[in-house]
Amino acid sequence: MTSPTPIAAGATVADLGEFGLVKEFVGRFQQGAQVYVGPGDDAAVVRAPKGHVVVSTDLLVEGRHFRREWASARDIGRRAAAQNLSDINAMGGRATALTVGLALPRDLPAQWVLDLADGIAEEAALVGASIVGGDLTAGSEVVIAVTVLGECAVAPVLRSGAQPGDVLAIAGRQGWAAAGLAVLGRGFRSPRKVVEAHQRPEPPYEAGPAAAAAGATAMIDVSDGLVADVGHVAEGSGVAIDIDTAAFPLDEPLQAVGAALGVDPMEFVLGGGEDHPIVATFPAGSSLPAGFREIGRVTARADGAPAVTVDGSAYDGSPGHTHF
């Protein structure tokens, strides 16, 4: 990767202009061996070996999905990339390329945008993916649109394959980002560990391919909330799933936030999103891949019964984030 070109202190997006920003981006985005044509043409061309190409897109809107006063531009970039990379992970694949669309206020400091780009590139580098293009336009607030392409070495693992008798397992941290958001929403910055979990999630990028190779029957990443996203698996598969809260030891930072805010910290685990762990179902008796632990069971769904239960009962708390 070439060294970023210094820009004038205080330069804005309007000062650099569209093509000036594009020029700065290109120097920040290293191209991997899978890239045949990178940024600069009408479209990128990415080599695809034998297998399956998977694609996903996510949007982040300032004021709804992030606040500039709560996180650095670099962390927002890492987070924007992570939530897209995690979608490919949840299919059992590995991301290879991303495109990024940005709507930017004219008076936004250009350095903020370049720091955002650096964060996107840093997160993509964790899985060997390249940023191969995108688009820029003016907007009243920052909007980040990321599209990610990836490949699956084996058949993609869908949400719809869970079977009665399967076990439910998770890889990665859960509930920490929600606790961090609750802290920030009250105007605080501690415990620092949960705030950092919200600012910069750490998806378990090796877990998706490992689960697929181990014979996972269904899989999803937890972006909106554990109960909500496990519900997508249950509904897609036509089964019932029970979550065992005893499988989630509540670490001290979660307990501290719960005590400070007067809420049960298990609510962060059950209804929280944006940590992007992987949840998968496996046939009973399977040896779980490294990093996974059992958190529940899949059963046949009776007529009128809830798709997801917690400790054997219907859950009356918030199952997760709703977008509308």
Q: What is the pLDDT of residues 232-259, one digit of tens each?
A: 999 999 999 999 999 998 999 999 999 9
Q: What residues are paired with 145 via a beta bridge?
A: 59, 101
Mean pLDDT of 96-125: 97
d(CA 95, CA 205): 10
Cβ atoms of 168 and 286 within 8 Å: the answer is no
Cis peptide before 49 (omega within 30 of 0): no
- What is the distance, to the nearest Å, from the Cα of residue 213 to the centroid of all Cα atoms in its chain? 21
Long-range CB contact pairs, 45-50, < 8 A, 24+ = 46/96, 46/97, 46/130, 46/132, 46/149, 48/96, 48/151, 49/151
d(CA 214, CA 76): 33
Total-model pTM: 0.88
Per-residue pLDDT reduced to its tens digit, 29-71? 888 888 887 776 565 677 777 777 889 999 999 999 999 999 9
Q: Which of 240, 224, 320, 228 is nearest to 281 (CA)?
A: 240
Q: What residues are paired with 137 via a beta bridge?
A: 103
Average pLDDT over all residues of the chain: 93
Q: Indicate the DSSP class of residue 131.
A: E
Look at residue 2 and tell me whether its pLDDT is greater than 80. Answer: no
Q: Which of 172, 154, 133 is nearest to 40 (CA)?
A: 133
Nearest-10 Cα torsion for 201, 202, 206, 211: -60
The residue whose two tokens read 């181990």 is 214
**145-159, 268-282, 285-299: which range is least confident on average?**
145-159
| Domains observed in the chain | 14-152 (3.30.1330.10), 167-314 (3.90.650.10)
Look at residue 28 and tell me whether its pLDDT is greater than 90. Answer: no
Q: Using only C-alpha atoms, what is the Rg of the chain?
A: 20
pLDDT value at residue 37:
77
What are the distances in angstroms from CA 129 to CA 3, 135, 146, 237?
19, 18, 13, 31
Q: Counting every residue, how long is the chain?
A: 324
pLDDT value at residue 43:
59
d(CA 301, CA 308): 10
d(CA 268, CA 272): 5
